[in-house]
């Protein structure tokens, strides 16, 4: 698992930096691809258990949400989300579909597309590209530190019925590591905090953002683990041979993208 996390970070960071530098349309395209593949993996897991989410409506709704975040910002995202909820419920009426499948369709859109759309929202804020990069760096640092420390000295299980390898020691490491590293990174001159507000404020804001990411990252991991356990699958997909699916690699980011966006709104 550690190897997969490290490889994901080593391979993923340059790709994400490249799309961040290419501009908001390229970055939005990257998020669209991640959302489409991740949502397809989630719906495929449901289908394996004879559940029937409306995949077409779900995909169209997910794409609409990401585009709404690009062109309409927060208000656009809320408006499109409201329209999607109404459209899916109407679909259920006319097809006499199961309310469970209607709920699964909406849950997939919320879980994958609504959360990751916050990356697009954050990109369009002041210094948003750097903020998005901080979210990714903080999340991967949290994952890697939690696994490394948990494997080395972890003894106290925190959720054995969901994830047997999660330990309290790893959780603490995953909390502290991004906080410390982001506190240091926030003092760099290409961020506005140190120059405009002083080193102390910069460190405080970086530490706070890292801490928020460290809190939400394990919840993202555990939620996906719970879904897979309940659906009785090992990986969300096989798009990355030997490493699972897109959801396996971005499960923590689904949660930290939302937390990182609102924290960036607070500190920018």
Question: CB count, 10 Å around CB of 14?
Answer: 10
Q: Can you point out the beta strands (E) in the chain? A: none
Q: Is 80 exceeded by the pLDDT of residue 227?
A: yes
Calculate Rg over the CA atoms of the chain.
Answer: 19
Residue 85: exposure state from Cβ atoms within 10 A (0-12, 13-18, ≥19)? middle
Q: Name the phi and psi angles at 178, rounded to 5.
A: -65, -30
Residue 243: per-residue pLDDT: 63
Contact (Cβ atoms closer than 8 angstroms) between residue 140 and residue 5? yes
Between CA 178 and CA 183 the distance in angstroms is 8
The 3-state secondary structure of 14-43, one letter per residue: HHHHHHHHHCHHHHHHHHHHHHHHHHHHHH
Average the pLDDT over each of 56-70, 80-94, 109-123 and give the range with the smallest value.
80-94
Residue 39: per-residue pLDDT: 96
Average pLDDT (259-264) is 94
State whether the Cα torsion 223-224-225-231 is positive or negative. positive
- The three-class DSSP label of residue 188 is coil
Average the pLDDT over each of 4-8, 125-129, 197-201, 233-237 and give the range with the smallest value.
4-8
Model's pTM, two decimal places?
Answer: 0.89
Residue 240: per-residue pLDDT: 65
Q: Is 60 exceeded by the pLDDT of residue 75?
A: yes
Residue 42: per-residue pLDDT: 95
Question: CB count, 10 Å around CB of 230?
Answer: 11
Q: Is 90 exceeded by the pLDDT of residue 223?
A: yes
């Amino acid at each position: 698992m550690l190897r997969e996390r490290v490889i994901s970070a080593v391979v993923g960071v340059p790709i994400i930096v490249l799309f961040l530098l290419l501009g908001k349309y390229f970055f939005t395209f990257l998020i669209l691809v991640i959302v489409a593949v991740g949502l397809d993996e989630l719906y495929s897991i449901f289908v394996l258990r004879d559940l029937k989410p409306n995949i077409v409506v779900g995909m169209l709704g997910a794409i609409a949400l990401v585009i709404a975040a690009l062109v309409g910002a927060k208000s656009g995202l809320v408006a499109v989300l409201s329209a999607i909820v109404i459209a899916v419920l109407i679909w259920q009426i006319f097809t006499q579909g199961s309310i469970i499948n209607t709920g699964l369709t909406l849950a997939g859109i919320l879980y994958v597309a609504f959360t990751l759309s916050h990356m697009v929202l954050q990109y369009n804020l002041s210094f948003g590209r750097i903020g998005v990069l901080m979210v990714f760096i903080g999340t991967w640092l949290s994952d890697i530190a939690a696994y490394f420390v948990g494997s080395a000295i972890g003894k106290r299980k925190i959720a054995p019925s969901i994830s047997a390898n999660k330990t309290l020691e790893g959780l603490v490491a995953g909390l502290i590591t991004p906080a410390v590293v982001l506190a240091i990174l926030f003092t760099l001159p290409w961020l506005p905090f140190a120059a405009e507000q002083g080193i102390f404020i910069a460190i405080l804001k970086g530490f706070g953002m890292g801490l928020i990411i460290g809190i939400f990252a394990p919840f993202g991991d555990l939620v996906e683990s719970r879904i897979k356990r309940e659906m009785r699958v090992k990986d969300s997909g096989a798009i990355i041979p030997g490493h699972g699916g897109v959801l396996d690699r971005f499960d923590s980011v689904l949660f930290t993208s939302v937390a990182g966006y609102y924290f960036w709104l607070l500190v920018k």
